[in-house]
Structure 1
Protein backbone atom coordinates (compact mmCIF):
# COMPACT_ATOMS: atom_id res chain seq x y z
CA UNK A 1 0.00 0.00 0.00
CA UNK A 2 1.40 3.39 -0.96
CA UNK A 3 0.61 7.03 -0.32
CA UNK A 4 0.11 9.99 -2.59
CA UNK A 5 0.89 13.57 -1.69
CA UNK A 6 -2.72 14.52 -1.01
CA UNK A 7 -2.97 11.83 1.67
CA UNK A 8 -0.68 13.89 3.90
CA UNK A 9 -2.11 17.34 3.21
CA UNK A 10 -4.27 17.39 6.34
CA UNK A 11 -1.36 16.32 8.57
CA UNK A 12 0.92 18.92 6.99
CA UNK A 13 -1.70 21.62 7.52
CA UNK A 14 -1.93 20.74 11.22
CA UNK A 15 1.86 20.83 11.60
CA UNK A 16 2.05 24.16 9.80
CA UNK A 17 -0.70 25.56 12.00
CA UNK A 18 1.20 24.63 15.15
CA UNK A 19 4.54 25.94 13.87
CA UNK A 20 3.05 29.24 12.71
CA UNK A 21 1.52 29.93 16.11
CA UNK A 22 4.30 28.25 18.15
CA UNK A 23 1.68 26.44 20.22
CA UNK A 24 2.25 23.43 22.43
CA UNK A 25 0.06 20.38 21.91
CA UNK A 26 -2.14 21.31 24.87
CA UNK A 27 -2.50 24.93 23.74
CA UNK A 28 -3.42 23.84 20.23
CA UNK A 29 -6.04 21.40 21.53
CA UNK A 30 -7.58 24.08 23.75
CA UNK A 31 -7.77 26.42 20.76
CA UNK A 32 -9.56 23.81 18.65
CA UNK A 33 -11.92 23.02 21.52
CA UNK A 34 -12.78 26.72 21.82
CA UNK A 35 -13.46 26.85 18.07
CA UNK A 36 -15.76 23.83 18.35
CA UNK A 37 -17.67 25.36 21.26
CA UNK A 38 -18.01 28.61 19.34
CA UNK A 39 -19.42 26.71 16.38
CA UNK A 40 -21.92 24.88 18.59
CA UNK A 41 -23.04 28.09 20.31
CA UNK A 42 -23.64 29.77 16.95
CA UNK A 43 -25.62 26.79 15.70
CA UNK A 44 -27.67 26.69 18.90
CA UNK A 45 -28.40 30.41 18.61
CA UNK A 46 -29.56 29.92 15.03
CA UNK A 47 -31.88 27.08 16.01
CA UNK A 48 -33.36 29.02 18.95
CA UNK A 49 -34.78 31.58 16.51
CA UNK A 50 -37.30 28.94 15.48
CA UNK A 51 -37.63 26.33 18.21
CA UNK A 52 -36.49 25.14 21.63
CA UNK A 53 -35.85 21.56 20.47
CA UNK A 54 -32.78 20.24 18.67
CA UNK A 55 -32.15 16.77 17.27
CA UNK A 56 -28.46 15.84 17.11
CA UNK A 57 -27.81 12.78 14.99
CA UNK A 58 -24.93 10.99 13.29
CA UNK A 59 -27.21 9.92 10.43
CA UNK A 60 -25.80 11.35 7.21
CA UNK A 61 -27.51 11.69 3.86
CA UNK A 62 -24.76 13.66 2.13
CA UNK A 63 -26.87 16.82 2.01
CA UNK A 64 -25.36 20.30 1.83
CA UNK A 65 -27.27 21.29 4.98
CA UNK A 66 -25.21 18.77 6.99
CA UNK A 67 -22.09 20.93 6.62
CA UNK A 68 -21.63 23.02 9.75
CA UNK A 69 -18.55 24.64 11.24
CA UNK A 70 -17.51 27.82 13.03
CA UNK A 71 -17.59 29.81 9.78
CA UNK A 72 -20.86 28.37 8.47
CA UNK A 73 -23.17 27.23 11.31
CA UNK A 74 -25.94 25.25 9.65
CA UNK A 75 -29.18 23.71 10.88
CA UNK A 76 -32.26 22.13 9.33
CA UNK A 77 -35.50 23.59 10.70
CA UNK A 78 -38.50 21.26 10.82
CA UNK A 79 -41.52 23.50 11.41
CA UNK A 80 -44.26 20.89 11.05
CA UNK A 81 -46.73 19.55 8.53
CA UNK A 82 -47.53 21.41 5.32
CA UNK A 83 -51.22 21.61 6.28
CA UNK A 84 -50.55 22.69 9.86
CA UNK A 85 -51.28 26.39 10.46
CA UNK A 86 -49.07 26.39 13.55
CA UNK A 87 -46.08 25.26 11.48
CA UNK A 88 -46.60 28.22 9.14
CA UNK A 89 -46.61 30.61 12.10
CA UNK A 90 -43.42 29.05 13.46
CA UNK A 91 -41.65 29.42 10.12
CA UNK A 92 -42.75 33.04 9.62
CA UNK A 93 -41.89 34.03 13.19
CA UNK A 94 -38.43 32.48 12.90
CA UNK A 95 -37.73 34.13 9.55
CA UNK A 96 -38.77 37.54 10.89
CA UNK A 97 -36.30 37.12 13.75
CA UNK A 98 -33.59 35.96 11.34
CA UNK A 99 -34.08 38.99 9.09
CA UNK A 100 -34.47 41.62 11.80
CA UNK A 101 -32.13 40.64 14.65
CA UNK A 102 -28.78 42.40 14.56
CA UNK A 103 -26.83 39.27 15.52
CA UNK A 104 -28.61 35.97 14.86
CA UNK A 105 -25.58 33.95 15.99
CA UNK A 106 -25.63 35.30 19.54
CA UNK A 107 -27.48 33.63 22.39
CA UNK A 108 -28.28 37.06 23.81
CA UNK A 109 -31.51 37.22 21.82
CA UNK A 110 -33.12 34.43 23.85
CA UNK A 111 -33.24 33.11 27.40
CA UNK A 112 -34.78 29.85 26.22
CA UNK A 113 -32.70 26.71 26.74
CA UNK A 114 -32.69 24.07 24.04
CA UNK A 115 -34.01 20.56 24.61
CA UNK A 116 -31.60 18.12 22.96
CA UNK A 117 -32.46 14.72 21.50
CA UNK A 118 -29.31 12.65 21.04
CA UNK A 119 -28.83 9.42 19.09
CA UNK A 120 -32.33 9.37 17.66
CA UNK A 121 -33.54 6.28 15.83
CA UNK A 122 -35.92 6.05 12.90
CA UNK A 123 -39.00 3.87 12.53
CA UNK A 124 -38.82 2.89 8.87
CA UNK A 125 -40.95 0.97 6.41
CA UNK A 126 -39.24 -1.97 4.71
CA UNK A 127 -39.03 -1.75 0.93
CA UNK A 128 -41.06 -4.95 0.61
CA UNK A 129 -43.93 -3.44 2.62
CA UNK A 130 -46.38 -0.57 2.12
CA UNK A 131 -48.24 1.90 4.29
CA UNK A 132 -51.68 3.46 4.50
CA UNK A 133 -53.45 5.73 6.97
CA UNK A 134 -56.83 4.86 8.48
CA UNK A 135 -58.79 3.90 11.57
CA UNK A 136 -58.73 0.20 10.64
CA UNK A 137 -56.36 -2.13 8.80
CA UNK A 138 -56.47 -1.29 5.10
CA UNK A 139 -53.92 -3.75 3.74
CA UNK A 140 -53.59 -7.50 3.35
CA UNK A 141 -49.88 -7.15 4.03
CA UNK A 142 -48.39 -3.92 5.31
CA UNK A 143 -48.76 -1.18 7.90
CA UNK A 144 -51.75 1.09 8.54
CA UNK A 145 -51.20 4.08 10.80
CA UNK A 146 -53.92 5.89 12.67
CA UNK A 147 -54.73 9.20 10.92
CA UNK A 148 -54.26 11.26 14.10
CA UNK A 149 -50.82 9.91 14.96
CA UNK A 150 -49.32 13.40 14.61
CA UNK A 151 -50.89 14.27 17.96
CA UNK A 152 -48.05 12.29 19.55
CA UNK A 153 -45.38 14.53 17.97
CA UNK A 154 -42.90 15.48 20.73
CA UNK A 155 -45.15 13.72 23.21
CA UNK A 156 -45.02 10.44 25.08
CA UNK A 157 -46.86 7.22 24.29
CA UNK A 158 -47.31 4.23 26.56
CA UNK A 159 -47.82 0.52 26.06
CA UNK A 160 -51.58 1.03 25.91
CA UNK A 161 -51.59 3.58 23.08
CA UNK A 162 -52.70 2.23 19.71
CA UNK A 163 -50.50 3.44 16.85
CA UNK A 164 -51.97 1.55 13.91
CA UNK A 165 -52.28 -1.91 12.45
CA UNK A 166 -49.88 -4.50 11.07
CA UNK A 167 -51.04 -7.08 8.54
CA UNK A 168 -48.34 -9.72 8.68
CA UNK A 169 -45.21 -10.00 10.81
CA UNK A 170 -43.89 -6.87 12.52
CA UNK A 171 -40.23 -7.20 11.49
CA UNK A 172 -41.23 -7.93 7.89
CA UNK A 173 -42.95 -4.54 7.65
CA UNK A 174 -41.14 -2.10 9.95
CA UNK A 175 -37.62 -1.67 11.26
CA UNK A 176 -35.76 0.33 13.88
CA UNK A 177 -31.96 0.39 13.81
CA UNK A 178 -30.05 1.38 16.94
CA UNK A 179 -26.95 3.64 16.69
CA UNK A 180 -24.78 0.54 16.15
CA UNK A 181 -26.89 -0.60 13.22
CA UNK A 182 -28.56 -3.47 15.10
CA UNK A 183 -32.21 -4.27 14.43
CA UNK A 184 -34.31 -3.23 17.44
CA UNK A 185 -37.94 -3.08 16.26
CA UNK A 186 -39.09 -5.73 18.76
CA UNK A 187 -37.43 -3.87 21.64
CA UNK A 188 -39.69 -0.86 21.07
CA UNK A 189 -42.89 -2.07 19.40
CA UNK A 190 -45.18 -5.09 19.43
CA UNK A 191 -48.32 -6.33 17.68
CA UNK A 192 -51.33 -7.55 19.63
CA UNK A 193 -54.12 -9.08 17.56
CA UNK A 194 -53.02 -7.08 14.55
CA UNK A 195 -52.77 -3.75 16.41
CA UNK A 196 -49.42 -1.93 16.74
CA UNK A 197 -48.47 -0.77 20.26
CA UNK A 198 -45.34 0.68 21.86
CA UNK A 199 -43.59 -1.92 23.98
CA UNK A 200 -42.48 0.70 26.50
CA UNK A 201 -42.94 4.39 27.23
CA UNK A 202 -41.53 6.27 24.25
CA UNK A 203 -41.20 9.82 23.05
CA UNK A 204 -41.93 10.47 19.38
CA UNK A 205 -40.76 13.37 17.26
CA UNK A 206 -40.73 14.30 13.58
CA UNK A 207 -43.85 12.17 13.05
CA UNK A 208 -44.64 12.03 9.33
CA UNK A 209 -48.29 12.52 8.34
CA UNK A 210 -47.68 12.12 4.61
CA UNK A 211 -47.59 8.43 3.56
CA UNK A 212 -45.32 9.20 0.60
CA UNK A 213 -42.74 10.80 2.90
CA UNK A 214 -43.15 7.89 5.31
CA UNK A 215 -42.30 5.49 2.47
CA UNK A 216 -39.26 7.38 1.21
CA UNK A 217 -37.92 8.69 4.52
CA UNK A 218 -39.29 7.29 7.78
CA UNK A 219 -42.47 7.17 9.84
CA UNK A 220 -41.05 8.95 12.88
CA UNK A 221 -38.02 9.42 15.12
CA UNK A 222 -37.62 8.15 18.65
CA UNK A 223 -34.78 8.46 21.17
CA UNK A 224 -32.63 5.56 22.24
CA UNK A 225 -34.10 3.99 25.37
CA UNK A 226 -32.11 4.20 28.60
Structure 2
Protein backbone atom coordinates (compact mmCIF):
# COMPACT_ATOMS: atom_id res chain seq x y z
CA UNK A 1 0.00 0.00 0.00
CA UNK A 2 0.99 3.65 -0.24
CA UNK A 3 1.38 3.82 3.52
CA UNK A 4 3.66 0.78 3.64
CA UNK A 5 5.79 2.27 0.86
CA UNK A 6 6.08 5.50 2.82
CA UNK A 7 7.36 3.58 5.85
CA UNK A 8 9.99 1.85 3.70
CA UNK A 9 11.08 5.18 2.19
CA UNK A 10 11.61 6.46 5.72
CA UNK A 11 13.65 3.38 6.65
CA UNK A 12 16.34 3.20 3.93
CA UNK A 13 19.36 1.48 5.44
CA UNK A 14 17.16 -0.31 7.96
CA UNK A 15 15.99 -3.91 8.16
CA UNK A 16 12.86 -5.65 6.95
CA UNK A 17 11.82 -9.12 8.10
CA UNK A 18 9.50 -11.46 6.21
CA UNK A 19 6.66 -12.81 8.37
CA UNK A 20 5.74 -15.49 5.82
CA UNK A 21 7.36 -17.47 3.01
CA UNK A 22 8.48 -15.13 0.23
CA UNK A 23 8.06 -16.28 -3.37
CA UNK A 24 10.39 -14.59 -5.87
CA UNK A 25 11.52 -15.22 -9.43
CA UNK A 26 14.57 -14.77 -11.67
CA UNK A 27 12.17 -13.65 -14.41
CA UNK A 28 11.93 -9.84 -14.25
CA UNK A 29 9.06 -9.61 -16.74
CA UNK A 30 7.03 -12.08 -14.70
CA UNK A 31 7.73 -10.14 -11.50
CA UNK A 32 6.61 -6.91 -13.19
CA UNK A 33 3.40 -8.61 -14.29
CA UNK A 34 2.61 -9.43 -10.66
CA UNK A 35 3.71 -5.96 -9.50
CA UNK A 36 1.31 -4.17 -11.84
CA UNK A 37 1.75 -1.10 -14.02
CA UNK A 38 1.23 1.61 -11.42
CA UNK A 39 -2.27 2.50 -12.63
CA UNK A 40 -3.79 1.99 -9.15
CA UNK A 41 -1.67 4.73 -7.55
CA UNK A 42 -2.13 6.39 -5.09
CA UNK A 43 -4.55 3.94 -3.43
CA UNK A 44 -1.99 1.19 -3.97
CA UNK A 45 1.52 1.26 -5.41
CA UNK A 46 3.25 -1.10 -7.83
CA UNK A 47 6.62 -2.20 -6.45
CA UNK A 48 9.36 -4.43 -7.86
CA UNK A 49 11.61 -5.87 -5.15
CA UNK A 50 15.13 -6.53 -6.43
CA UNK A 51 17.02 -8.91 -4.14
CA UNK A 52 20.79 -9.33 -3.90
CA UNK A 53 22.01 -12.48 -2.16
CA UNK A 54 25.55 -13.66 -1.46
CA UNK A 55 25.24 -17.39 -2.13
CA UNK A 56 28.90 -18.16 -1.35
CA UNK A 57 29.77 -16.52 1.95
CA UNK A 58 26.38 -16.57 3.63
CA UNK A 59 24.05 -19.30 4.71
CA UNK A 60 21.06 -19.54 2.43
CA UNK A 61 17.53 -19.37 3.93
CA UNK A 62 16.14 -19.89 0.41
CA UNK A 63 15.88 -22.50 -2.31
CA UNK A 64 15.11 -22.64 -6.02
CA UNK A 65 12.03 -24.65 -6.95
CA UNK A 66 11.60 -26.63 -10.13
CA UNK A 67 8.81 -24.57 -11.65
CA UNK A 68 8.25 -22.83 -14.96
CA UNK A 69 8.26 -19.50 -13.10
CA UNK A 70 11.97 -19.81 -12.12
CA UNK A 71 10.86 -19.44 -8.52
CA UNK A 72 13.13 -18.88 -5.53
CA UNK A 73 11.46 -19.37 -2.15
CA UNK A 74 12.71 -17.58 0.98
CA UNK A 75 11.93 -18.92 4.44
CA UNK A 76 9.88 -17.24 7.16
CA UNK A 77 11.88 -14.68 9.15
CA UNK A 78 14.40 -13.94 6.39
CA UNK A 79 15.90 -10.50 7.00
CA UNK A 80 16.88 -8.01 4.31
CA UNK A 81 18.47 -4.59 4.48
CA UNK A 82 16.82 -1.80 2.47
CA UNK A 83 19.52 -0.32 0.22
CA UNK A 84 17.67 2.17 -1.96
CA UNK A 85 14.26 2.98 -3.41
CA UNK A 86 13.22 4.77 -6.58
CA UNK A 87 11.12 4.73 -9.74
CA UNK A 88 11.80 2.44 -12.72
CA UNK A 89 12.57 4.76 -15.63
CA UNK A 90 11.79 2.08 -18.22
CA UNK A 91 8.22 1.74 -16.87
CA UNK A 92 7.28 5.42 -17.32
CA UNK A 93 8.20 6.21 -13.70
CA UNK A 94 4.99 4.55 -12.50
CA UNK A 95 6.51 1.47 -10.86
CA UNK A 96 8.74 1.66 -7.79
CA UNK A 97 11.82 -0.49 -7.21
CA UNK A 98 13.20 -1.45 -3.82
CA UNK A 99 16.70 -2.91 -3.68
CA UNK A 100 17.24 -5.32 -0.80
CA UNK A 101 20.32 -7.26 0.28
CA UNK A 102 20.10 -10.50 2.23
CA UNK A 103 21.50 -10.23 5.73
CA UNK A 104 23.91 -12.89 7.02
CA UNK A 105 21.96 -15.81 8.45
CA UNK A 106 24.36 -15.95 11.41
CA UNK A 107 23.40 -12.38 12.25
CA UNK A 108 19.64 -12.87 11.90
CA UNK A 109 19.11 -13.88 15.51
CA UNK A 110 21.05 -10.86 16.74
CA UNK A 111 19.03 -8.57 14.47
CA UNK A 112 15.75 -10.06 15.68
CA UNK A 113 16.84 -9.57 19.28
CA UNK A 114 17.81 -6.00 18.44
CA UNK A 115 14.40 -5.32 16.90
CA UNK A 116 12.59 -6.93 19.83
CA UNK A 117 14.64 -5.00 22.39
CA UNK A 118 13.94 -1.77 20.52
CA UNK A 119 10.20 -2.48 20.50
CA UNK A 120 10.12 -3.36 24.20
CA UNK A 121 12.13 -0.24 25.04
CA UNK A 122 9.57 1.90 23.23
CA UNK A 123 6.71 0.31 25.15
CA UNK A 124 8.61 0.53 28.48
CA UNK A 125 7.38 -0.71 31.84
CA UNK A 126 4.89 2.16 32.03
CA UNK A 127 3.61 2.72 28.50
CA UNK A 128 2.42 6.16 27.44
CA UNK A 129 -0.01 7.13 24.71
CA UNK A 130 2.97 8.18 22.58
CA UNK A 131 4.93 4.95 23.09
CA UNK A 132 1.87 2.87 22.17
CA UNK A 133 1.45 4.98 19.04
CA UNK A 134 5.13 4.44 18.14
CA UNK A 135 4.76 0.67 18.35
CA UNK A 136 1.55 0.69 16.31
CA UNK A 137 3.21 2.85 13.63
CA UNK A 138 6.21 0.51 13.43
CA UNK A 139 3.80 -2.42 13.07
CA UNK A 140 2.13 -0.71 10.12
CA UNK A 141 -1.08 -0.01 12.06
CA UNK A 142 -0.97 3.62 11.03
CA UNK A 143 -4.66 4.46 11.38
CA UNK A 144 -4.65 3.29 14.99
CA UNK A 145 -1.31 4.99 15.62
CA UNK A 146 -2.62 8.30 14.28
CA UNK A 147 -5.49 8.29 16.80
CA UNK A 148 -3.04 7.82 19.68
CA UNK A 149 -0.70 10.49 18.32
CA UNK A 150 -3.59 12.96 18.12
CA UNK A 151 -4.45 12.23 21.76
CA UNK A 152 -0.80 12.69 22.74
CA UNK A 153 -0.61 15.97 20.81
CA UNK A 154 -3.48 17.44 22.83
CA UNK A 155 -1.62 16.72 26.07
CA UNK A 156 1.70 18.35 25.10
CA UNK A 157 2.29 21.82 26.65
CA UNK A 158 2.06 24.59 24.05
CA UNK A 159 5.65 25.69 24.73
CA UNK A 160 7.09 22.21 24.08
CA UNK A 161 7.70 22.92 20.39
CA UNK A 162 10.09 20.00 19.83
CA UNK A 163 7.60 17.36 20.94
CA UNK A 164 4.72 19.08 19.14
CA UNK A 165 6.75 19.04 15.92
CA UNK A 166 7.84 15.43 16.50
CA UNK A 167 4.28 14.14 17.03
CA UNK A 168 3.00 16.24 14.11
CA UNK A 169 5.67 14.62 11.92
CA UNK A 170 4.62 11.15 13.03
CA UNK A 171 1.00 11.98 12.20
CA UNK A 172 2.25 12.95 8.75
CA UNK A 173 3.99 9.57 8.47
CA UNK A 174 0.63 7.92 9.16
CA UNK A 175 -1.24 9.78 6.42
CA UNK A 176 -2.13 7.67 3.38
CA UNK A 177 -2.56 10.68 1.09
CA UNK A 178 0.63 12.48 0.14
CA UNK A 179 -0.80 16.01 0.21
CA UNK A 180 -2.07 15.47 3.77
CA UNK A 181 1.32 14.12 4.85
CA UNK A 182 3.00 17.14 3.24
CA UNK A 183 0.74 19.52 5.18
CA UNK A 184 1.77 17.90 8.47
CA UNK A 185 5.48 17.95 7.59
CA UNK A 186 5.27 21.63 6.63
CA UNK A 187 3.38 22.39 9.85
CA UNK A 188 6.09 20.68 11.91
CA UNK A 189 8.86 22.46 9.98
CA UNK A 190 7.25 25.87 10.47
CA UNK A 191 6.97 25.29 14.22
CA UNK A 192 10.65 24.36 14.47
CA UNK A 193 11.82 27.27 12.36
CA UNK A 194 9.74 29.71 14.38
CA UNK A 195 11.46 28.47 17.53
CA UNK A 196 15.09 28.19 16.44
CA UNK A 197 16.17 26.03 13.51
CA UNK A 198 19.78 26.17 14.74
CA UNK A 199 18.79 24.08 17.77
CA UNK A 200 17.07 21.44 15.65
CA UNK A 201 19.36 20.96 12.65
CA UNK A 202 19.05 17.17 12.49
CA UNK A 203 15.27 17.21 12.90
CA UNK A 204 14.91 20.00 10.33
CA UNK A 205 17.11 18.06 7.88
CA UNK A 206 14.95 14.95 8.36
CA UNK A 207 11.82 16.98 7.69
CA UNK A 208 13.28 18.45 4.51
CA UNK A 209 14.08 14.89 3.41
CA UNK A 210 10.49 13.77 4.04
CA UNK A 211 9.13 16.84 2.25
CA UNK A 212 11.41 16.13 -0.71
CA UNK A 213 10.24 12.51 -0.95
CA UNK A 214 6.56 13.50 -0.86
CA UNK A 215 7.05 16.29 -3.42
CA UNK A 216 8.82 13.81 -5.70
CA UNK A 217 5.92 11.37 -5.41
CA UNK A 218 3.39 14.13 -6.07
CA UNK A 219 5.31 15.33 -9.14
CA UNK A 220 5.29 11.78 -10.56
CA UNK A 221 1.49 11.71 -10.47
CA UNK A 222 1.11 14.55 -12.96
> Would you call these one fold, judging by a TM-score over 0.5?
no
Q: TM-score range by the shorter chain?
A: under 0.3
- TM-score, normalized by length of structure 1? 0.26
* TM-score, structure 2 normalization: 0.27
Larger radius of gyration: 1
